[in-house]
Chain A
Amino acid sequence: MKIYKYGDNVDTDVIIPARHLNDPDPKALASHCMEDIDKDFAKTVEQGDIMVGGANFGCGSSREHAPLAIKASGIKCVIAKSYARIFYRNAINIGLPIMECPEATEGIQPGDRVNVDFATGVISDETQGKTWQAAPFPEFIDGIIQSGGLLKSLKARGAAK
C-alpha cells in the first residue's frame, strides 16, 4: 500500500475537475482523479492505498463525483485534519471510508506503511511504530455507514419507497 499525502484545502475541483463531470461513471472519474495537482496519482494508485489530507479536505463544489472518483480509484480510506461538510456527507452517503485525525495527518509520511481499523478508529503507522485514534462517528452516522450508505439505511428503515 502507498500513501498519497496532500496539504490543506484540497478542493473538489482538483479532486475531479469540472471538465470531466460530463461522464459520471466512477471508473471514468477515477481516471482523472487529482490530475490538476498530481498527474501521477491516477497512473500509480492501487487498491488499498490511503489518501492523507490537511484541513478542510473536499471544500468547494457539492459534486459527489469527488468521493466517487477517490473511491473508484482504489483508495481504501481518506485521513484528514478536517473535512468540508458537503464532502463529509457525500463520503458517508456513498460509502467512502473517511477518518478525522489531525495527529495522524501530521505524523504519517509518504512511504510509510499504515493500517487502519474502521471498527476501533485506530490508525497504526508500522514504519514509525506509532498509533493514533481517529474521532469516532456519532451513532446515527455510524448507522448509515454500517448499512452501506444513506439510501440503503433509509430503505432498511422503511423511510423510502
Chain B
Amino acid sequence: MTMMTMTQKILARHAGLEEVKAGQLIEARLDLVLGNDITTPVAITEFEKAGLTQVFDRDKIAIVLDHSTPCKDIKSAQLCAQARKFAKKYHITHFYDVGQAGIEHALLPEKGLTAPGEVIIGADSHTCTYGALGAFSTGVGSTDMAAGMATGLSWFKVPAAIKVTLKGKLAPYVSGKDVILHLIGMIGVDGALYKSLEFTGEGVAQLTMDDRFTIANMAIEAGAKNGIFPVDDLTREYLKGRVDRAWEAFEADPEAEYDREVVIDLSALKPTVSLPHLPSNTKTVEEVAGLPIQQVVIGSCTNGRIKDLAEAAAILEGKKVAEGVRCIVIPATQQIYLEAMRAGYVETFINAGCAVSTPTCGPCLGGHMGVMAAGERCVSTTNRNFVGRMGDTSSEVILASPAVAAASAIAGCVADPSKI
C-alpha cells in the first residue's frame, strides 16, 4: 500500500481512488469553486463562449466582489455588474456584494464554506488559505473556474510534499506572518514549486487559527500548490457554529514520503520582514530597523483578521502615527470590522491617526485605497512585494506582521514592536 501525505489522501478520496502517488494526474470532485470580481468576469466570458448553460451546483460556487470594490472606476464597475448578473441568472447561493462581502479568503472560512478534508479551487492564488482548516485548496485561473463551475471537477497533478515541522512557541511580538516569511526566506519563492507544504509537529498547537490562516495563505509565495495543517481541537472549536455539514479530518500516514523536511523552532523566530522585490528576501527587523517609510497598510487576506487588528491596536493604543506616514487599516470582513469596533480597536486606530476602510483587497495589488507614488516605501501586512505591486514601479513594499507594521507607523521607519 502506498503511504500518503494528508493532501494525497484528500485528493485520492475526491478522485474516487484508493491511493494516489506524487506525479499522478487525477480528476477530483470539487466541494467549492471560488472567484472574485477580477477573475470571475473572465471565467463568465469563457463559460459563455463555450456555450455552457448549466452550473454543477449553485450551492458550491462562491463569488466575492472584493478586489476593486467599492468600485474604483467605471471599468471595474462593469466587471462587477457582469458578475452580479451571472450570479443572479444561475441563482448562485454564495454571492457576496459590497456590504456583505469581505476579502474572500477571510470571508469563506468565517461563513463556514470551507471545511477539513474538502477540495476547493479558487480563481485567486491565495485560495491556499483554507489549508489552515485541513482542506486541500489551491489557486487556479479563470478557465479552470469556468470548467469547475460547469462540471464540479478539476484535474490535478498529485503533489509531492515538503514536511514543515514546527516546534516550540512564538515569543511576544512574533506571529504567523514571521513564521511564513522565515520559511519562504529559507526555501525560496520556488522552494515548494508544484508541492504541498504540510505543517506538523507540537508547535502547531501553539498557533492560533488566525496565525494558521496567515501561514497557509502565503504557501503560494513559496511556489506551493497548497499549504495544509492537521485538524486539532482548535480547528474543531473554530468550525463550531460555522460548519454544520459532515466533514472528515485526514492525517498523513506516519510513513508518508516527503521530498524534504524543514524544522522551524518557533521560539527562535524574531520579527521578520521581506525587502523588495521578492517575498524570499527576508531580514530580521533588527537588521533593517530605521529604513524610512511613507505608508503602512494593515489588512489583506493574509493579515486582516481580528487577531491581526488586536495586535496592531495593542501597539497603536495611545500613540500617534508619525508625521509623514499614512497608515491604512482594513478589516478583512464586515464581521471582523464589527468585532474590531466592539473591542475598541477602530477607535484606537482613528485616534492614532489611521485611515480605517471598508473591506477590500485594494492596496495589496495596487488597485486603490493606498496606491503609491514614485520612490515611496510601505511597510505592509500583505503578501507580495513585486516591482510595481502597490503603485509606481519605483515604489517599494516591505512585507511584515501587523505588530511590525503598527510599530513602523509610529516610528516612521521600519521598527521593532518590542521597542515601541
Contacts and interface: CB of A to CB of B under 8 A. Distances in A.
B190 A55 contact: yes
A85 B225 CA distance: 7
A65 interface: yes
Q: Size class of A's contact patch? A: 35 or more
B79 A24 contact: yes
B155 A140 contact: yes
Q: Size class of B's contact patch? A: 35 or more
Nearest to A67: B141
A86 B140 contact: yes
B52 A160 contact: yes
A3 B50 CA distance: 33
Interface string B75-115: 11001000000000000000000000000000000000000
A77 to B, nearest CB: 19
A61 B144 contact: no
A14 interface: yes
Nearest to A157: B151
Given A17-B388, A151-B143, A86 B151 contact: no
Contacts of A90: 140-144
Interface string B13-34: 0000000000001000000000
Interface of B: 25, 38-39, 41-42, 45-47, 49-54, 68, 72-73, 75-76, 79, 122-125, 127, 139-144, 146-147, 150-151, 153, 155, 157, 189-190, 193-194, 220, 223, 225, 278, 365-367, 371, 384, 386-389, 393
Contacts of A82: 190, 193
A155 B50 contact: yes
Contacts of A19: 366-367, 371
A1 interface: no
**Most chain B CB within a 10 A radius of its CB, from A22, A60, A154:** A22
Contact of A13 (B42, B47, B53, B365): B365
A64 B142 contact: yes
A141 to B, nearest CB: 8
B75 A22 contact: yes
A63 B141 contact: yes
Contacts of B127: 62
